[in-house]
Amino acid sequence: MDHGPRVEERGAGGEPPPLLRDDVPAGDASPVLPLLRAQAEQWRGVPYRLGGNDRRGVDCSAFVQITFQSQLGVNVPRTTDELAREGQRVGRDELQAGDLVFFKTGFRQRHVGIYMGGDRFLHASTSRGVMTSSLNNVYWRRHYWKARRLDLDELPTAVSLSDESR
pTM here is 0.78
Give the span between the Cα atoms of 97 and 116, in whole angstroms: 4
Kindly state whether residue 4 falls inside one of the protein's structural domains. Answer: no
- 35, 60, 122, 124: which one is catalytic? 60
Kindly state whether residue 24 falls inside one of the protein's structural domains. Answer: no
Catalytic-residue membership of 60: yes
Number of domains in the chain: 1
Query: What is the CA angle 100-6-64, rounded to 5?
Result: 20
Catalytic-residue membership of 111: yes
Kindly state whether residue 12 falls inside one of the protein's structural domains. Answer: no
Domain that residue 85 falls in = 30-149
- 110, 123, 128, 143: which one is catalytic? 123
Kindly state whether residue 14 falls inside one of the protein's structural domains. Answer: no
- 61, 68, 95, 111: which one is catalytic? 111
- Per-residue model confidence as pLDDT tens for the chain (166 residues): 554 544 344 434 444 433 334 444 445 468 999 999 999 999 999 999 999 999 999 999 999 999 999 999 999 999 999 999 999 999 999 999 999 999 999 999 999 999 999 999 999 999 999 999 999 999 999 999 999 999 876 554 334 443 433 3
Catalytic-residue membership of 3: no
Q: Look up the CATH number of the domain holding residue 80.
A: 3.90.1720.10
